[in-house]
Structure 1
Amino acid sequence: TQCVSKVELSISCSNLLNEDAGSKSDPLCVLLQSIGNDKWTKKLLLAYHFEKVRKLKRGVYDIDNKSVDLNDDDFLGGFECTLGQIVSSKKLTRPLQLKKGKPAGKGTITITAEEIKDNRAIVLEVEAKGLDKKQYFVLLIITNGEITDAIVKASRLPMSIIIIGVGKANFKAMELLDGDDGILKSLSGEPVARDIVQFVPLRQFANAPKEALAQSVLAEVPSQLVSYFKMLKLDPVNVPALKA
């Protein structure tokens, strides 16, 4: 089961350019997702995957007619970032830009992200960050050969282990540590308490975009974090609603 949180984005703008002579502009903010040409003009409800890089582009237009075609409307400025940047900032304010990066006067756009409260996965993630004297760690190992580690003992600790293999070495042992094909056991036969290892061979991403590598590297961290708190039988806390 994937750990996915629903986030609601609220967008506001200030100091927009006035393209209408003798009257105020009628601004409309359009959000274009990198995965398609979908458009929204209200509060946006999006699925946030911790491991995925989701690029978002926003454009603010002065609407002068009832046509849905934006090509005949004045462009007041735009802004690009990732959904992860918005979620981590909670409230993000940036200057609007015209085409080719030219500043759109003093215009700014503010995007506020609020996680939907009834999503259990995101509540657990927030709890992990806010627990008193408890932290969760991610150990990154970059290797050009085979390595071994005390994975079984570490499986009871608040940590995940990400191993990135570089070069053309035989990484068969690393794939066994991953534990995806069976339960990993120590030499004494003790099984791991939970899966904490993610192994990624870098050579498989030689011709892939960097976002694909990032997604593969981080793919199992959310579920591993949740499994740790389930193992300790720690209940999620009530997360207060974000103030506007």
Structure 2
Amino acid sequence: MSNIYESAEATLGFISSPCLTKVELRVACRGISDRDALSKPDPCVVLKMQSHGQWFEVDRTEVIRSSSSPVFSKIFLVDYYFEEVQRLRFELHDISSGNNGLRDADFLGAMECTLGQIVSQRKLTKALLKQGNTSGKSSIMVTAEELSGNDDYVELSFSARKLDDKDFFSKSDPFLEIFRVNDDGTESLVHRTETVMNNLSPVWKSFKVSLNTLCSGDHDRELKVAIDFTASNGDPRNSCSLHYIHPYQPNEYLKALVAVGEICQDYDSDKMFPAFGFGALIPPDFKVSHDFAVNFDEDNPECAGIQGVVEAYQNCLPKIQLYGPTNIAPIIQKVASSASEEMHTKEAMEYFILLILTDGVITDMADTREAIVHASHLPMSVIIVGVGNADFTDMQILDGDDGILRSPKGEPVLRDIVQFVPFKDFKHASPAALAKSVLAEVPNQVVDYYNAKGIKPKCMTDYESTRTFSP
């Protein structure tokens, strides 16, 4: 089953698009193996980004002499595209003094991930790998801070007086690390100053830091998936069916699911996605359902990653009977119920994205309009991907780009939360183009909701966690 997922995933390509925002990345390593018994490594981290299957160097840190657990002061500033899979590679090298840069350096290991994984988790720690194996107990930690285009900055200056001597013969070589205390009690490095050699009253260089960097707290996005299992899709055993499962080639449902899900899964901390189906007769009594769990576990409909959703989808098909009608209001109401509960929590920091994959004209238009108007007051967005060649006029109405959507009673939506894209328009384009089209409006929808509610990320206003260390 993973072959289908990998086949769909491999078609995701790199396509340039306007930069959404910028991200600051900070790097630290732990447990780097010593070169020999008499000396520690002189580490440097090289950041590379993948484009068209090739790795290109973006930037590199300074070299920290004689350290097995370096915290680099270099900050990587990278462009961040919410709707793209941006693959990064962090390479650790041992650059001894007097050698010719990376050409003569010892390769100590590397870590690969996506920028979205770092941004969503804020702090990502992974083992360093060397030739496919873990490099001893060494690991690398990358922290991220998103910067808005109009970030405010503050200039900080620090000094110290009358530090204790290391011993009778030498003075301290102090540097300062500034940490931010997060909501969960953990700490994130904000800045590391230069080391002032042999000084008991150091004055460090001033530096600027974004106020956004000093803020903790974020809005989590949770993806929920809904798949159309109505009879109009065709018998899954027939090669003409939109649900036909080929042993090695993904059908259009799977292509759309992987294209959008590959992006969204980076923004969910536990990578567990509830997946639902609608319009099918389901076991054991084979009654029609419009909001059943694809894994048939109603108490826990979550699947492990997008690959887990793909596998649950493939396991589900032989056990159900495609039926109808095409009612999507129930699944919107189901997600809206979760969003409503979140809205009334103390933190109210979770935002829900419902991805609906469907092949045809919906049959409960009035109820769907009512459900969307209600959901427009909640922390949620609805993405509809039309699969096949049906008439999707109703979907365009729900999208609201040509006018304000209203409920049957005339109540307008509070904000536009629906984005519809017909998959057929992307037949000859990379699935990454589909992901960009359907996800481009999500960031603004998230911001519009929290701005309307007056909910902002929490911010640390003091610097109680500054600490001084000797190297």
Normalising TM by the smaller chain, what interval? 0.7 to 0.9
Contact 2:220/2:351 (8 A) holds in 1: no
Q: Distance in 2 between matches of 1:226 and 1:44?
A: 25
Superposition TM-score, scaled by structure 2 size:
0.44
Q: Distance in 2 between matches of 1:124 and 1:110?
A: 19
Structure with more relative contact order (C-alpha pairs < 8 Å, separation 6 or more): 1
The amino acid across from 2:41 in the alignment is S
Moved more, 131-140 or 106-115: 131-140
Contact 1:127/1:237 (8 A) holds in 2: no
What's 1:126 paired with? 219
Partner-residue secondary structure (3-state), 1:225: helix
What's 1:104 paired with? 135
Residues 210/115 of structure 1: CA separation in 2 closer, same or farther (3 Å cut): same
What's 2:24 paired with? 8
2:402 matches 1:194: no
2:58 matches 1:38: yes
Residues 127/11 of structure 1: CA separation in 2 closer, same or farther (3 Å cut): closer
Residues 93/190 of structure 1: CA separation in 2 closer, same or farther (3 Å cut): closer
The amino acid across from 2:351 in the alignment is Y
How far 1:191 sits from its partner (Å)? Answer: 3.5
Partner-residue secondary structure (3-state), 1:230: helix
What's 1:172 paired with? 393
Residues 79/166 of structure 1: CA separation in 2 closer, same or farther (3 Å cut): same
Contact 1:3/1:222 (8 A) holds in 2: no
Contact 2:216/2:460 (8 A) holds in 1: no
What's 1:74 paired with? 106
Q: Distance in 2 between matches of 1:201 and 1:123?
A: 38
Moved more, 77-86 or 152-161: 152-161
Q: Distance in 2 between matches of 1:17 and 1:145?
A: 59
Consecutive unaligned residues in structure 1, runs of 5 or more:
none
Contact 1:5/1:119 (8 A) holds in 2: no
Residues 12/136 of structure 1: CA separation in 2 closer, same or farther (3 Å cut): closer
2:449 pairs with one of 213, 228, 235:
228
1:139 pairs with one of 346, 351, 354:
354
2:101 matches 1:62: no
Contact 1:125/1:226 (8 A) holds in 2: no
Partner-residue secondary structure (3-state), 1:217: helix
What are the within-5 Å matches in structure 2 for residues 206-225 of structure 1? 206=427, 208-225=429-446
Q: Distance in 2 between matches of 1:32 and 1:55?
A: 9
Q: Distance in 1 between matches of 2:95 and 2:144?
A: 26
Q: Distance in 1 between matches of 2:117 and 2:358?
A: 29
Contact 2:86/2:115 (8 A) holds in 1: yes
How far 1:133 sits from its partner (Å)? Answer: 6.7
Moved more, 10-19 or 234-243: 234-243
| Structure having the higher Rg | 2
Q: Distance in 1 between matches of 2:397 and 2:40?
A: 65
Q: Deviations over 1:15-49 (max 9, x none)?
A: 32444685432211011122553223112233444
In percent, how many aligned pairs have the same letter? Answer: 47
Superposition TM-score, scaled by structure 1 size:
0.78
Residues 110/228 of structure 1: CA separation in 2 closer, same or farther (3 Å cut): closer
What's 1:86 paired with? 118
Q: Distance in 1 between matches of 2:429 and 2:460?
A: 40
The amino acid across from 1:39 in the alignment is D
Consecutive unaligned residues in structure 2, runs of 5 or more:
1-17, 62-73, 148-209, 222-341, 467-471
Partner-residue secondary structure (3-state), 2:360: coil
How far 1:80 sits from its partner (Å)? Answer: 0.2
What's 1:28 paired with? 44
Q: Distance in 1 between matches of 2:459 and 2:22?
A: 14
Contact 2:357/2:385 (8 A) holds in 1: yes
Q: Distance in 2 between matches of 1:77 and 1:132?
A: 43
Q: Distance in 2 between matches of 1:119 and 1:182?
A: 36
Partner-residue secondary structure (3-state), 1:168: coil
Q: Distance in 2 between matches of 1:124 and 1:200?
A: 32
Residues 238/110 of structure 1: CA separation in 2 closer, same or farther (3 Å cut): closer
